[in-house]
Amino acid sequence: MWNADGVKFADAMPVPEQMKAWVLGDPDELTLIDKPVPAPGRAEALVRIDAVAICATDLEVISYGTPAMFEGGAPFNKNFTPGHEYMGTIAALGPGVDEFEIGDRVTVEIHAGCGQCKRCRMGMYTSCHNYGLNFGDMNKGHRANGFTTNGGFAEYAVNNINTMIKVPDTMSDAEATLVVTAGTSMYGLTELGGLVAGESVVVIGPGPIGLLAVAVAKSLGASPVVLVGTRENRNQIGLELGADAVIDARNEDVIARVKEIVGPKGADYVIDCAGTETTVNQAVHMTNRGGKVCLAAFPKKPVEFDLGYLAVNNIYLYGIRGEGRSATHRAMAFMAEKRFDATKVHTHTFPIEDLPNALRHARERIDDAIKVVVSMKDSKAKAAAAE
Ligand SMILES: [Zn+2]
Ligand SMILES: [Zn+2]
């Protein structure tokens, strides 16, 4: 076990000096290497990663670099480890940490922010004004796992204590990796959207955030909750997660169907989790006067939409990035109480050595993949079986 000033270890959880970690070379080039285990600083803990889910944003980062920003630029060829939806076990505590104990199972949210800008002070740390400024003379201490600091496709990662949430014994590793996704949906609905029970919610796009938005909206008392999608199997999962109705966007007039279900004036809240020109326009035109449209996906190019309709009808439009104002902590409260079964979106598990194959399943949606999880325990079990 290595030494670091003021870092606490426990004999029961010895920490090696080196770990296995995937690092990004050129775009789409990942290599499994040995790297030093990082040391936690003040208000940080070292987490032994037990499972990590793959997010569409990981695929973005690995192919295009953005929205990651590592050491002041694109994350390529900097020994950078991506991966941000992970959970694990606390293996060491940095100086001054008594909020957690070594051996605690935790899941993490992505952003710690810098803690010193206007938005961080408001709890909107996913909109930190000092994004990526955590190096050299510009070090403001910003942290976003797998974006501006090393992430979870590795055996260990350092986390700020504010980003960690204890996992109950009744929750599996895989389920715990999904808490941050539910937290993102929660942030869009409540902290930013101000959702009130009894109002109608339409979710467009049954990806992981969309499907968990259905589950969270239903748990929060939204009524009715409608899901719009093009894949029948995903719409079916939406029904199992609490959607009152689903609309097949390939075969139905989406706006007309929404108005049939929620009433002719349109929906109170619409969350667009698809981010295409078609869905942005559908969202605008299915929202009632004074209603709200939340953009939860990042359109890749500029989209044309009916801005005048928004203005004339007093419709609010807002974007969300990530999971601010501790929404993830509250999403955990729902999931710990089994208010919905997030594992319905978890379709595949691979050992860490198979990360490229896991990423391919997520990217190409092979075998109807929705959430693909990489498990370290599987990999250890496999290693033990091979001996
Ligand atoms: Zn993500
Ligand atoms: Zn900040």
For the beta carbon of residue 383, count every other beta carbon within 10 angstroms.
Answer: 11
In degrees and rounded to multiples of 5, residue 349 shows phi and psi of -135, 135
Ligand with smallest separation from the Cα of 114: 2
CA of 229 from ligand 1 middle (Å) equals 20
| Rounded CA separation 170/336 (Å) | 8
Distance 48 CA to ligand 2 centre (A): 26
Burial degree of 376 (CB within 10 A; 0-12, 13-18, 19+): buried
Cα(158) to ligand 2 centroid in Å equals 18
CA torsion through residues 72, 78, 84, 87, sign: negative
Q: Ligand 2 center to residue 139 CA distance, Å?
A: 12
Q: Tell me the ligand closest to 111's alpha carbon.
A: 2
Rg (CA), the chain: 21
Q: What pTM, to 2 d.p., does this model score?
A: 0.94
Distance from residue 69's CA to the centre of ligand 2 (Å): 15
Residues linked to residue 372 through DSSP beta bridges, in sequence order: 348
Q: Give the pLDDT of residue 377.
A: 82
Q: How far apart are CA 220 and CA 243, in angstroms?
A: 13
Distance, in Å, from the CA atom of 48 to the CA atom of 86, rounded to the nearest integer, reads: 10
Query: What are the backbone dihedrals phi and psi of residue 270, each rounded to the nearest 5 degrees, phi first?
Result: -130, 130
Please name which ligand lies nearest the alpha carbon of 151: 1
Length of the chain measured in residues: 387
Main-chain phi, psi angles of 105, to 5 degrees: -85, 130
User: How far, in Å, is the centroid of ligand 1 from the Cα of 52?
Assistant: 10
* Distance between Cα 386 and ligand 2 center (Å): 47
For residue 385, how far is its CA from the centre of ligand 2 (angstroms)? 46
CA of 38 to the centre of ligand 2 (A): 23
In this structure, which CATH number among 3.20.190.10, 3.30.1600.10, 3.40.190.10, 3.90.180.10 belongs to the domain 18-110+145-177+341-386?
3.90.180.10
Compute, in angstroms, the gap from residue 205 CA to the centroid of ligand 1.
16
Task: Give me ligand 2 centre to Cα 149, in Å.
Answer: 15
Domain with CATH 3.90.180.10 in the chain: 18-110+145-177+341-386
Expressed in angstroms, the distance from the first to the final Cα of the chain is 25
Coil/strand/helix, residue 325:
coil
Provide the Cα torsion 87, 91, 97, 98; round to 10°: 90
Closest ligand to 182 CA?
1
Task: Report d(CA 248, CA 270) in Å as an integer.
Answer: 16
Q: How many CB atoms lie within 10 A of CB 357?
A: 15
Indicate the SS3 state at residue 20. strand
CATH 3.40.50.720 describes domain 184-319: yes
Query: What does residue 48 show for φ and ψ, rounded to 5 degrees?
Result: -80, 120
Burial class (CB in 10 A: 0-12, 13-18, 19+), 339: middle
Q: Which ligand is nearest to the CA of 125?
A: 2
Residue 327 C-alpha to ligand 1 middle, in angstroms? 14
Gap from CA of 162 to ligand 1 centroid (Å): 18
**Calpha distance 285→279 (Å, rounded):** 10
Domain with CATH 3.40.50.720 in the chain: 184-319
Q: How far is the CA of 322 from the centre of ligand 2 (A)?
A: 14
With H, G, I as helix, E, B as strand and everything else as coil, classify residue 379. Answer: helix
DSSP class of 315: -
CA of 119 from ligand 2 middle (Å) equals: 6
Output phi, psi for 256, to 5 deg. -60, -45
Query: Tokens representing 152?
Result: 């979870």
- Nearest CA among 110, 144, 114, 145 for reference residue 128: 114
Q: Point out the residues of the chain with pLDDT beneath 50.
A: 383-387
Looking at all shown ligands, the one closest to residue 208's CA atom is 1
